[in-house]
Amino acid sequence: MVWILAFHVIFMVCWFAGLFYLPRLFVYHAQAKDQISIDRFKLMERRLFWGIMTPAGILTTLLGYWYLIVFLPNYRHEMWMHLKLICVLFLWIFHICCGVWLQDFSKGRNPRPPLFYRWANEVPTVFLVLIIVLVIVKP
């Protein structure tokens, strides 16, 4: 079971790396003026989202679910676990929003200013702090 938890954490780190980096790429993409830069950002964003973030998010969730099934009796009534799962749900919503923004950029129709993505870049940090505090402190 320790292996499941270890790989859950490894894929969680990979997922968060993408969740931190993709909105930052969107900031630079929204500021780009030349076609070479725009094409480069489209490629980088697509590869990050589909090649790293999405597989890491899926594996994080599946391994967490597997771990939860094994230890469900221990966590069933723990409020911190319910709150953590709600945070993970919101992370998936943010992930999907990133996918929508990716599609907007790929079609050349981004309606948002760079400042929007600067603020969006902070969302995963908030959830990372919440999840780590919930799992370690178990308030």
> Does the pLDDT value for residue 39 go beyond 80?
yes
Between the alpha carbon of residue 57 and those of residues 13, 35, 39, 77, 111, the distances in Å are 10, 31, 26, 25, 27
The Cα–Cα gap between 124 and 21 comes to 10
pTM of the model: 0.93
Average pLDDT estimate for 51-70: 95
The Cα–Cα gap between 57 and 20 comes to 13
Q: How much is the mean pLDDT over the chain?
A: 95
Domain that residue 83 falls in = 2-137
The number of distinct structural domains making up the chain is: 1
pLDDT of residue 76: 79
Interacting residues of 56 by C-beta distance below 8 A, sequence separation 6+: 11, 12, 14, 15, 17, 18
